[in-house]
Structure 1
Amino acid sequence: MPEFIEPEVQKMRGSDSHNTISLLVGYTAGNDEFTNVLSGVETRDIEAIGNTTYRVTLPEKEVDSVCTIEGVVSVELDNDDVYTLDSEDFQSQTGSIM
């Protein structure tokens, strides 16, 4: 069981919707292993973000399958607020308190 499942993701568990969503999934091992454990899940796209986080695009009905994978530590919705270092859209966010 993941240490963190975003409340909005938790509400999607058990859904039978075919709507496509993107999740950010934290996983304890590397890319090859994560891709292998997802082989039984209907995914549209898997993109590595760093070493242990992945953007997974899949039908909403597959959320529960991702949340029950051994080694998954966090699952949250991708809200387009995570940028990779090679992203051309990376800009400093004004108004940040940090």
Structure 2
Amino acid sequence: EKFQPYVGAGINYTTFFDNKFNNTGRQAGLSDLRLKDSWGYAAQAGMDYQLNDHWMLNASVWYMDIKTKVRFKAAGESHSIDTKINPVVFFLGAGYRF
């Protein structure tokens, strides 16, 4: 069958790196940005389209539940904010089966 739809669910682990404020934030006195790593659930749905025995196209949409604690300093005073980042990611790709 050329079309192969699928759905999936699982967990995601998100780690944040290279955390820094842009020039506007730094000029406003913000510093020491840190984001806590996060565990959450994830869901996906998509479809593969088989072009031939080896090549396929893929389209999918992913949702991730990401909750993190953001820590930073403003004018030298420490602050902490609970933040939700729940992206919906649309993906188009190609694959090769060996």
Q: TM-score range by the shorter chain?
A: under 0.3
Q: Which is greater in Rg? A: 2
Which structure carries more relative contact order (alpha carbon 8 Å, separation 6+)?
A: 1
State the TM-score, normalized to the length of structure 2.
0.23
Structure richer in strand, relative to its length: 2
Structure richer in helix, relative to its length: 1
